[in-house]
Amino acid sequence: MTEAERNRRARDIVARRRQRAVMQARAAAEQAAREAPELAALNTRRTRAGIEAARLAASGASRESVDKALAEAAQVDKERDALFRADPALAARLAPAYTCPVCEDTGRVNGVVCECVRALVREMRRKEVNDASPLGLCTFETFRLDKYPDTLVPALGITAREHMRQVLEYCKYYAEHFSPKESPSLYLFGGAGLGKTHLALSIASVVLEQGGDVVYVSAQNAFEAVERERFSDEESGTMPTLQNAGLLILDDLGTEYISPYVASSLYSLVNTRVCRRAPTIYTSNIINDADLQRRYTEKVVSRLLGSCETLCFCGEDIRLQGK
């Protein structure tokens, strides 16, 4: 979907919201008129006064005659306002319940596109990105520690299973206490098939359940889209989506095709989110800093790792076990 299509769809949604709110208010007004004869009488008088004022003006009647009809309409409005003040519950029933009280579901405020439209567009972008995610298939409960060897890892001083138990507990704590402004970014690294994506998406599941805003995307898909949009006439959609996510999960960093533009885009993304204190979870099969720097330059790696807590994944490829 193009940016223009997203904006058009968002405006259509807002317009339908307004239509629904107005229709519900009219239905409520008709019901209230049946229940309150005094209100029904005022409505009838107001309609007649308005029609009479329009008739007189169209027929070329004197200004005095038109003003008299308008004065009658204004008098009815005052009496109706007094009735509503005496019965606030009645007034509340008749007021349209707009989804966005700022623009009253018109989509614009002072000639500018309302934030409610922008929010709908952002949500469409996020859905498009997250449709590529295996979200929902991965939870903490389905993470199998018994798949990790109960043998000592000399570099860690503990077994792979015990180390991964600690990683699992940390990820649980991170998810349960997640804050879009206070939680640190994470860099999950290790060989293929060690559960990095599984735990990243498990965190995402909990954050989403808490009402958080999560965007998941593979690095390959993300930067293919970013580079493609570089030459597009439409306003870029992918980069703002990645930059503005409450929690961004950038999966499989290192699988994307690196060009000077992609490297620049990665730095821009990392730097923007660091400056905004927006947490990002990166997963990568790239194990050491030297390999990272050869791929992305020292400047990019310093900014990325300097903003992250690192979690090492160890063991054997759990995806190959039992096959």
CATH number at residue 247: 3.40.50.300
Structural domain includes residue 30: yes
According to DSSP, the β-strands at 185-190 and 158-159 are unpaired
Residues 86 and 145 in one domain: no
Specify the number of domains making up the chain: 2
Residues 253 and 288 in one domain: yes
Distance, in Å, from the CA atom of 125 to the CA atom of 58, rounded to the nearest integer, reads 51
Residue 319: its pLDDT value, please?
A: 61
Classify 90 as helix, strand or coil. Answer: helix
115, 148, 183 — which closes off a domain?
A: 115
Per residue of the chain (323 residues), give pLDDT as tens: 666 777 889 999 999 999 999 898 888 877 777 767 777 777 778 778 788 888 888 888 888 888 888 888 888 788 777 777 777 776 666 778 899 999 999 999 999 999 999 888 877 866 775 676 665 667 899 999 999 999 998 988 999 999 999 999 999 999 999 999 999 999 999 998 899 999 999 998 888 878 788 888 899 989 998 888 877 655 447 888 899 889 999 999 999 989 899 999 999 999 999 999 999 999 999 988 889 999 998 999 999 999 999 999 998 776 656 54
Residues 170 and 267 in one domain: yes
Structural domain includes residue 320: no
- Encoded tokens for 23: 């229709």
Structural domain includes residue 86: yes
Distance, in Å, from the CA atom of 139 to the CA atom of 190, rounded to the nearest integer, reads 20
Residues 64 and 144 in one domain: no
Residues 161 and 285 in one domain: yes
Residues 165 and 247 in one domain: yes
Structural domain includes residue 322: no
Residues 26 and 99 in one domain: yes
- Encoded tokens for 277: 């204190």
Distance, in Å, from the CA atom of 52 to the CA atom of 73, rounded to the nearest integer, reads 10
**Helices within the chain (DSSP H only):** 3-35, 37-58, 63-86, 88-94, 115-130, 160-176, 196-209, 219-230, 238-244, 260-275, 289-296, 298-306
Distance, in Å, from the CA atom of 107 to the CA atom of 96, rounded to the nearest integer, reads 16
Distance, in Å, from the CA atom of 132 to the CA atom of 221, rounded to the nearest integer, reads 9
Residues 101 and 205 in one domain: no
Burial class (CB in 10 A: 0-12, 13-18, 19+), 101: exposed
Could you say which DSSP state residue 307 is in?
Answer: T
Residue 95: its pLDDT value, please?
A: 73
- Encoded tokens for 323: 């096959």
Laid out side by side, the sheet with 185-190 consists of 214-218, 247-253, 280-284, 185-190, 308-313
Structural domain includes residue 125: no
Structural domain includes residue 203: yes
The CA distances from residue 91 to 73, 81, 87, 254, in Å, are 19, 9, 7, 60
Read off the pTM: 0.66
Residues 254 and 153 in one domain: yes
64, 88, 115 — which closes off a domain?
A: 115
Residues 136 and 247 in one domain: yes
According to DSSP, the β-strands at 247-253 and 214-218 are parallel
Handedness of CA 37, 43, 49, 51 (dihedral sign): negative
Residue 323: its pLDDT value, please?
A: 45
The CA distances from residue 305 to 71, 75, 114, 227, 267, in Å, are 72, 70, 37, 24, 12
Distance, in Å, from the CA atom of 90 to the CA atom of 100, rounded to the nearest integer, reads 21
Residues 108 and 136 in one domain: no
Domain that holds residue 21: 3-115
Structural domain includes residue 136: yes
CA 111 from centroid of its chain's CA atoms: 24
Structural domain includes residue 294: yes
Residues 174 and 240 in one domain: yes
Could you say which DSSP state residue 258 is in?
Answer: P
